[in-house]
Amino acid sequence: MSTPTQRASNLFVGSPIERLEDFRFLTGRGQYVDDLHSEGMLHAAILRSSVAHGRIRAIDTAAALARPGVHAVIVAADIGKVPTIPLRHDPTPAIRRFEQPVIANGKVRYVGEPLAVVVAETPALAEDALEAIAVDIEPLPAIADRDKARKEDVILFETVGTNLPDTITAVRGDADAAFKAAPYTRREHFRVQRHAAVPMEPRGLLAEWDAAQERITVKGVCKVPFTNRRALAEMMDLPETSVRMVEYDVGGGFGARGEFYPEDFLIPFAARHLRRPIKWTEDRRENLTALNHARDMECDLEIACARDGTILALRCEAFTDIGAYVRTNGATAARNISQVLSGPYRVPHVRVDVTLVVTNKTPVGTYRGPGRFESDFCRERLFDMVAADLGVDRLEFRRRNLIREEEMPYRLATVQVLDIESECDSGDYQKTFERCLDEIRWAERVKLNGKPVGGRYHGIAVGCYLEGGGTGPRENVRLAVEADGSITPYVGSSSVGQGVETVFAQIAADALEMPMERINQVLHGSTDYVVQGYGSFSSRSIVMGGNAIVDAANKLRTCMREAAAQQLKCDVKEITIDRGLAIGPGRAAIELKEFAGLSADGTFASKKRTYSYGAHAAYVSVDPKTGHVELIDYVAVEDVGRIVNPLTLHGQCVGAVVQGLGGAFLEHFVYDENGQLLTGSFADYLMPTASDFPQIRAVALEDKPSPLNPLGAKGAGEGGIIPVGGVVANAVAAALSSFGAQPRELPLSPPRVWQLIQDAANA
């Protein structure tokens, strides 16, 4: 794969450059955690609870310790004071009472909770030794349903005395007053099932303890390594400088991978305990049981409208099942639901109350578009119902209520408990909406809406969305000049599959006005590279990291010009940097290798989020005899501010749409009444494949750059997934309009769609 050469305008930003990192992936040269080996390395396996709720009476490890090749079996008693995993986002005092201990301590609260860590010579020996551990747990009644949890007949945390950690409320205006005065209201109940990010590569860690320096190195972290370093240092009673986090290639993150999990303490603790390198690699069943789950929300959503369809107010009471504990960002989806339920629409009065509920299930966290996927499903479904009630065309209903460009910036509801305010920064929501209708051929296809063609009923739908991104507070970067005159970027952002090595190289080349081949591989994520980094989450990498590169490049150019002016004995203003040369009066030139050793630190800080936006449309056919839904066509149109790389953006969007379709049609974590996960393998937890949804089209626009950063960029990693559930459900409802079937719950599996048709017929 050749590296792009410099163009005359040096505008690499905006060019569809193939991902530089893909060459090593496609040639088998990627280095993932399980590829790592260290001299004297041992292997860890984790015994997990098979009981959803119970008191630990005894854990006998003697037989396991006697097994050949076993070096240690670690339980809570070996750790001493068992630390809990600190919250990274939304740490209200009420929520902090539900933090997860790094290992079960006196009680288990979900199937999959760590009970013990076995360390042995090989992975097989460690796995075999798990069977020799005798565990005595007194079963307690399990709560696998949020309604039962709310009754509080059984309490998961007796010392706290409630199964409701907190309620997050967001308010704009006076919704109650607006509802009292409204000529039309409607209330509906909606549910989104529990599903999650399922990365191609399961998690893994390699921890190495340096006894001489009393320093721990943890390899395989990603997403927020500096945050995880701070947490681990406190847990292990070490200074932060004695904890080193090293990022390697990652087979997908999607919001779940890279948060702090129990294993992020247990494996380093074991390495220090035994003074040996220890590696742990998760198997797929562990991944489905132990990685953060997501979604799992239900709500009663109300709308108040004028008779012409103008929205007056939205009011919502929602409940999110967060599982057994509140992990690092377990409240984030609830917070997002409260703030962005109104989406890109003009809603003067909003009140949303989202109550967190603990149950005996795997804890939840963020998954691409957290809270926004759920919100859009509920809102867009309700909008189609309301439009039909009022006799207003679905398109006109949305056109009438979309926020207009002249209303920007537009303030969203304020999250009261957390005192979070946000506003849409820029956008022409009407334009992406109309473009989407053109791309899906709405005028032509809507004629078949609800009609049978060859025994299948056709339906079409459209929906709009916002994607909040660019979360602060800041990001840091260092650019260094090497001996050959090339530039090495060191960034605090992490790589979780989004292609940062390519887009950051493009930004650096443009900002430095250098050929792209002079930019070395971007070094990212590890705590060695910058003094403080903030990682990759909430679609922030380009907004925060990219603009930090611009800042560092400006400073480095100034340093190089000053150094060149000294050598050429001229004024700094007479020096220009062009194509890797410092040029002075009379075209005297100095090669950049003469500046080897120079470096510059850059930072970008912002308290305001950017908001990408767009519209999606789906065209489906439904077989009423089987409930099978075929996706005939799907179109996504988004405006993401300035586009750095159209090719990587397109991949992000299409990939996110496919994940959204998986959540809309297939994926579902199902528990029985005893808290046992029934869909804990790929035989039962269904994932979309390449042949399932072949017709997905994505159109990216950059008409409205963000005014909040020099690049004009907005976060764009999650927009593709956000509106999918609502758009698909509305298309299915449109197809089944003659049956009167109204989807109110995901996933739209064939049995559920078939049952909808039967229920509508019986009604």
Spatial neighbors of 413 by CB under 8 A, at least 6 apart, are 170, 171, 172, 338, 339, 341, 342, 350, 351, 352
Nearest Cα residue to 223 out of 195, 264, 268: 264
- CA 584 to the chain's CA centroid: 48
Q: Average pLDDT of 259-282?
A: 98
Do 621 and 481 have their domain in common?
A: no
Do 591 and 653 have their domain in common?
A: no
Spatial neighbors of 190 by CB under 8 A, at least 6 apart, are 298, 299, 301, 377, 378, 381, 382, 744, 745
Q: Average pLDDT of 370-385?
A: 98
CA gap 731, 442 in Å, rounded: 12
**Domain presence at residue 408:** no
Which of 580, 605, 630 is at the close of a domain? 605
- The two tokens of residue 92 are 């209200």
**Residue 123 burial class via C-beta count within 10 angstroms: exposed 0-12, middle 13-18, buried 19 and up:** middle
- 8 pLDDT more than 60: no
Q: Average pLDDT of 526-548?
A: 96
Do 496 and 572 have their domain in common?
A: yes
SS3 138: strand
Which of 588, 605, 622 is at the close of a domain? 605
**Domain presence at residue 372:** no
- CA 670 to the chain's CA centroid: 22
- 761 pLDDT more than 80: yes
Q: What is the pLDDT of residue 690?
A: 84
- The two tokens of residue 142 are 């399990």
For residue 507, give the CATH number of its domain. Answer: 3.30.365.10
Q: What is the pLDDT of residue 9?
A: 55
Q: Helices 724-735 & 646-665, crossing angle to 10 degrees?
A: 50
pLDDT in tens, 139-166: 999 999 999 999 999 999 999 999 999 9
Contact between 82 and 408 (Cβ < 8 Å): no
| pTM exceeding the 0.75 threshold for the entire prediction | yes
Give the total number of structural domains in the chain: 2
CA gap 302, 311 in Å, rounded: 11
CA gap 199, 217 in Å, rounded: 24
* Percentage of the chain modeled with pLDDT above 70: 99
**Domain presence at residue 537:** yes
**Domain presence at residue 556:** yes
What torsion do the CA atoms of 153, 156, 158, 162 make, to the nearest 10 degrees?
Answer: -60
- For 545-673, strand residue ranges (E) read 576-578, 581-583, 589-591, 599-605, 610-622, 629-639
Can you say whether the dihedral through the CA atoms of 650, 654, 659, 660 is positive or negative? positive
pLDDT confidence tier of residue 1, bands split at 50, 70 and 90: very low
Do 700 and 736 have their domain in common?
A: yes
pLDDT in tens, 575-624: 998 888 899 999 999 999 999 999 999 999 999 999 999 999 999 999 99
CA gap 284, 743 in Å, rounded: 32
Task: Provide the 10 A C-beta neighbour count for residue 171.
Answer: 16
**Domain presence at residue 279:** no
- For 49-90, strand residue ranges (E) read 54-60, 70-74
CA gap 548, 721 in Å, rounded: 27
**Domain presence at residue 369:** no
pLDDT confidence tier of residue 5, bands split at 50, 70 and 90: very low
Do 678 and 714 have their domain in common?
A: yes
Which of 559, 586, 605 is at the close of a domain? 605
Q: What is the pLDDT of residue 665?
A: 98
Do 631 and 659 have their domain in common?
A: yes
- 90 pLDDT more than 90: no
Classify strands 42-48 and 278-281 as parallel, antiparallel or unpaired.
parallel
Contact between 644 and 683 (Cβ < 8 Å): no
DSSP state of 420: B
Do 757 and 621 have their domain in common?
A: yes
- 338 pLDDT more than 60: yes
- CA 333 to the chain's CA centroid: 10
**Residue 506 is inside which H or E element, if any?**
helix 500-512
CA gap 525, 531 in Å, rounded: 11
pLDDT in tens, 473-502: 999 999 999 999 999 999 999 999 999 999
* Percentage of the chain modeled with pLDDT above 90: 95
Task: Provide the 10 A C-beta neighbour count for residue 237.
Answer: 8
- The two tokens of residue 432 are 């992406």
CA gap 638, 7 in Å, rounded: 28
pLDDT in tens, 617-669: 999 999 999 999 999 999 999 999 999 999 999 999 999 999 999 999 999 99
CA gap 45, 126 in Å, rounded: 5
**Domain presence at residue 703:** yes
Contact between 746 and 663 (Cβ < 8 Å): yes
Q: What is the pLDDT of residue 2?
A: 39
- The two tokens of residue 563 are 């150094």
DSSP string, 692-753: T---EEEEEE-SS--TTSTT-B---SSTTTTTHHHHHHHHHHHHTTTTT----BS---HHHH
| CA angle in degrees (0–180, nearest 5) for 227-201-534 | 20
CA gap 155, 141 in Å, rounded: 9
State which residues form the domain around 561.
22-30+471-605
**Residue 399 is inside which H or E element, if any?**
helix 394-401
Asked if the peptide bond before residue 409 counts as cis, ω within 30 degrees of 0, the response is yes
Spatial neighbors of 466 by CB under 8 A, at least 6 apart, are 340, 343, 344, 372, 424, 611, 612, 613, 722
Buried/exposed code over 386-402 (b: 16+ C-beta within 10 A; e: otherwise)? bbeebebebeebbebbb
Q: Average pLDDT of 741-760?
A: 97
- 55 pLDDT more than 60: yes
**Domain presence at residue 667:** yes
- For 493-596, strand residue ranges (E) read 523-524, 576-578, 581-583, 589-591
Q: Helices 547-568 & 500-512, crossing angle to 10 degrees?
A: 40
SS3 626: coil
Q: Cite the DSSP H helix spans in 72-188.
A: 76-79, 93-96, 123-130, 146-151, 175-181
Do 453 and 494 have their domain in common?
A: no
Q: Cite the DSSP H helix spans in 259-371.
A: 263-274, 284-290, 332-340
pLDDT confidence tier of residue 763, bands split at 50, 70 and 90: confident
Q: What is the pLDDT of residue 7?
A: 44
Classify strands 576-578 and 581-583 as parallel, antiparallel or unpaired.
antiparallel
Do 429 and 520 have their domain in common?
A: no
CA gap 282, 280 in Å, rounded: 7
Do 615 and 600 have their domain in common?
A: no
Task: Using the structure block, give the residue that is written with the tokens 């041992």.
Answer: 42
Nearest Cα residue to 700 out of 22, 16, 17, 9: 16
Q: Average pLDDT of 414-426?
A: 93
Q: Average pLDDT of 160-183?
A: 98
Task: Give bridge partners of residue 116 from the DSSP assignment.
Answer: 47
Q: Average pLDDT of 292-299?
A: 98
- The two tokens of residue 331 are 């409240």
Do 460 and 490 have their domain in common?
A: no
Do 547 and 681 have their domain in common?
A: no
Q: What is the pLDDT of residue 577?
A: 87
Task: Provide the 10 A C-beta neighbour count for residue 694.
Answer: 8
Q: Cite the DSSP H helix spans in 210-312.
A: 225-235, 263-274, 284-290
Q: What is the mean pLDDT of the chain?
A: 96
